[in-house]
Amino acid sequence: MPVERIQGVHLGRTAAEAEEDVKKGVLLTSLDRAVSWARKQSMWPVTFGLACCAIEMMATGAADYDLSRWGMELFRASPRQADLMIVAGRVSQKMAPVLRTIYDQMPEPKWVISMGVCASAGGMFTNYAILQGVDTIVPVDIYVPGCPPKPEMLMYGILRLHEKVRTKGTVK
C-alpha cells in the first residue's frame, strides 16, 4: 500500500529519515492533521440534486466512477448525517430558502461544492426566477465549471476540496 506523505508532519526529520520511520510502521502527526485526514477520507454528501447537473452527480457516485474510492459513496438522505452539499443545478428563488434550511441542518464542519455554471452564476437563466449564484445564500468552498460538468470534473473538484480540508482543516 503506498505511503501518503503529509507535508510538515515529519518536523525535524529529513525525507529519507521519515521514509525509514514509515517503513518501520511509525508515523508522527498532530491531532489537527489526523482529524483533517479522517474527515476528508469519510465525507458524506447530502442528497440534493436540483437539475440536469444532478444526473452527472449521480453518475459520479455510480460504478463507472465510484466515489467509494474516497470513502464517500453514501449520499445521505438526512442533512444531519452529511457534511458536504453538492449544489447540482440552478437554484430557483423558491428553492433557495429550502436549500439554506438543509445547509443549516448539517452539522459543523461542513462544505459546499457549487456544481455547474447555473449553481455558480445563474448560467443561461438570467431572470428573476433563478438565483444568480448559490454563494449569495451559502458559503461555497469549490466551484466546478461546465454545463454540465462531466463526472471527471466533479471528481476533480471533490479531490481539490479534500486537499483543502486536509491542509487547512482545524479541529472544531
Total residues binding ligand SF4 (CB under 6 A): 11
Which CB, 116 or 169, lies closer to ligand SF4? 116
Q: Is 159 in the site for ligand SF4 (CB under 6 A)?
A: no
Q: Is 52 in the site for ligand SF4 (CB under 6 A)?
A: yes
- CB 43, CB 162: distance < 8 Å: yes
Q: Is 147 in the site for ligand SF4 (CB under 6 A)?
A: yes
**One-letter-per-residue 3-state SS of the chain:** CCCCCCCCCCCCCCHHHHHHHHHCCCCCCCHHHHHHHHHHHCCCEECCECCCHHHHHHHHHCCCCCHHHHCCCCCECCHHHCCEEEEECCCECCCHHHHHHHHHHCCCCCEEEEEHHHHHHCCCCCCCCECCCHHHCCCCCEEECCCCCCHHHHHHHHHHHHHHHHHHCCCC
- Binding segment for ligand SF4 (CB under 6 A), chosen from 66-74, 76-84, 116-124, 136-144, is 116-124
Q: Which member of 18, 86, 106, 118 binds ligand SF4 (CB under 6 A)? A: 118
Which CB, 79 or 148, lies closer to ligand SF4? 148
Q: Is 79 in the site for ligand SF4 (CB under 6 A)?
A: no
Q: How far is the CB of 149 from ligand SF4 (least distance, A)?
A: 8
Site string for ligand SF4, 123-142 (x = CB under 6 A): x-------------------
Q: Which residues in this chain contact ligand SF4 in the complex, by CB under 6 A?
A: 51-53, 89-90, 116-118, 123, 147-148
